[in-house]
Amino acid sequence: MIRACLSALALVLPLAAHAQGGVGSALPGTAAEARGTGDLGVVIERATGSVLVVDQSDRAALCRVEGLGDLSHASLTFSPDERFAYVFGRDGGLSKVDILTCTLENRVVQAGNAIGGAISDDGKLVAVSNYEPGGVKVFDADTLEQVADIPMGSKTVGLADAPGSRFVVATWDTGEVWVLDHSADPADPQVTQVKGVGANPYDALMTSDGRTYIVGLFGEKGLTTIDLWADPPRPRRILPDYGKNQPDLPVYKMPHLQGWTLAGSTYALPAVGLHQVLWADAASGAETGRTDVAGQPVFVTARPDGRELWVNFATPDNGTVQVIDGMTREVKQTLQPGKGILHMEFTPRGREVWLSARDDDKVVILDTRTYEKLGEIEARAPSGIFFTTRAHRTGL
C-alpha cells in the first residue's frame, strides 16, 4: 500500500521540462507544475525533426522535443495513459516521447522508409507500416524492442488497430488487406489475407467501432470496405463510378482517408483528383451526392458533433479552408486562416479547431461557431496536430 501511494505521489509531483543532450527544452515562461495529460496535444514540426507539446486550455506551447529525424510525413499515436506519444517518421524512425517530462525516451530506426503506425488496444504493442523494405514491424510499447516482423512483399499503407490486439493494413503493390491477430502470440500473429481489394490502395481507415475498414484506391475508381465481423471478411466495392465521366486532374497531394467523416448514416470522403467531397450511404455504399469545393480536398474532418465538416486542400489552394453544413451538404463558409494549412484537429467537444499553417510557422486556433481567431502558437513548419483524446479512440 505504501509503495502504491508513493508511486501515485511521484506521478503528480511537479515535472520540469528540461534539456538533456538536446532532446527536450522548456519554452520561455514555462513553469514546472503538476498537470494531467487530458488537455495536452502534440504538434509535428516537420522541417526540424521536432515536436511541440501544447496545452489546449491555455492555447500555449509547453515545450519542444528535438532529435526525431525526418518528420516530413509523420504521424503519431498515444499510450492508453496519454503520457507517451509514439512518433512515426518518414525515415523509418520510431520515437517514444514523454509529453510530461518533455524527453525523448527512446528512438529506433526500424526501416528505410515508413508511412505510419498504430498501437494495440491493450497498449502493449506498437506496429509500423513500411515502404522500404515493406511489410509491418511490431514493437514492445515499453522498450521499443522488436517483437515481430511480417514481410508482405509490398509497400504497406493505412495501418490501423482493431479490437483484440489486432492490426489491419493494406498493400499498395498487391491490392490486399492483411489482418494481423497478435492475441495468442505477439511474436507470431495469426494472419488473414483479404485479396481482390483493388488496384494500389493509397490509404485506409477504421471506423470507430472497429468493425469496418475502408480502403481508398489510387489505381482505379472507387473504394473498398471490409466487414471485420464477417467470417471470413470479404471486400465490398463502394462509389465505383465517381469521376468516371470526368477527366482526372493532376493529383498534387494524396488525400487522407483519416480525415473522413460519418455524418449520421452517411460517409463524407475526399475525392482523388477532383474538386469534390463525396457522400455515400454507410449501409449500402451507394453514392448519395457530391459537394463542389474550392480545390482538391486533403482532409474532410467532422466537428465532433457531426454538424459541420471542415475541408482543407492541396496546393495551390492550401491557404483555404471550407466549412460544409452536415445537413444541407452545402459550403457555408470559406476561410483564409493562413498559408499552407496541412492539418486540422478539433478539441474533444468541438468548441475550437486548431489548424497548422506550415508556411506561416504557426498554429491558428479558431472558434468553430463564430469562425473568429482565438489565438495562435508559433511553431516550426507545423503539420500534424494530435490531441491526447485520440488515446481512447479505435483506429487512431
**Domain range summary for the chain, segments of one domain joined by +:** 121-238
Kindly indicate the confidence band of residue 127, based on its pLDDT and cuts at 50, 70 and 90: very high
CA dihedral 69, 70, 75, 76 (to 10 degrees): 0
Kindly indicate the confidence band of residue 89, based on its pLDDT and cuts at 50, 70 and 90: very high
| Mean pLDDT, residues 181-191 | 98
Instruction: Please state whether the predicted TM-score (pTM) of the whole model is above 0.85.
Output: yes
Is the per-residue pLDDT at 23 higher than 60?
Answer: no
| Mean pLDDT, residues 237-259 | 61
* Counts of helices then strands in the chain (DSSP H, E): 1, 33
Q: In what order do the strands lie in the sheet with 212-217?
A: 201-206, 212-217, 223-227, 235-238
Mark residue 49 as left, alpha or beta (left: phi above 0; alpha: psi -120 to 50; beta: remaining). left
In whole numbers, what is the pLDDT of the chain averaged over residues? 88
pLDDT value of position 178 = 98
- C-beta atoms surrounding 348 within 10 Å: 15
pLDDT value of position 253 = 52
| Mean pLDDT, residues 291-314 | 93
Kindly indicate the confidence band of residue 11, based on its pLDDT and cuts at 50, 70 and 90: very low
Burial class (CB in 10 A: 0-12, 13-18, 19+), 380: middle
| Mean pLDDT, residues 89-95 | 95
| Mean pLDDT, residues 379-386 | 97
Element (H, E) at 12: helix 2-12
Is the per-residue pLDDT at 7 higher than 70?
Answer: no
Is the per-residue pLDDT at 20 higher than 50?
Answer: no
pLDDT value of position 255 = 58
User: What is the CATH class of 121-238?
Assistant: mainly beta
pLDDT value of position 258 = 64
Q: 206-209 long-range contacts, Cβ below 8 Å, gap at least 24?
A: 206/160, 206/161, 206/162, 206/168, 206/394, 206/395, 207/262, 207/394, 207/395, 208/262, 208/393, 208/394, 208/395, 209/394
Kindly indicate the confidence band of residue 273, based on its pLDDT and cuts at 50, 70 and 90: confident
Kindly indicate the confidence band of residue 34, based on its pLDDT and cuts at 50, 70 and 90: confident
Element (H, E) at 5: helix 2-12
pLDDT value of position 1 = 42
CA distance linking residue 227 with residue 213, whole number of Å = 7
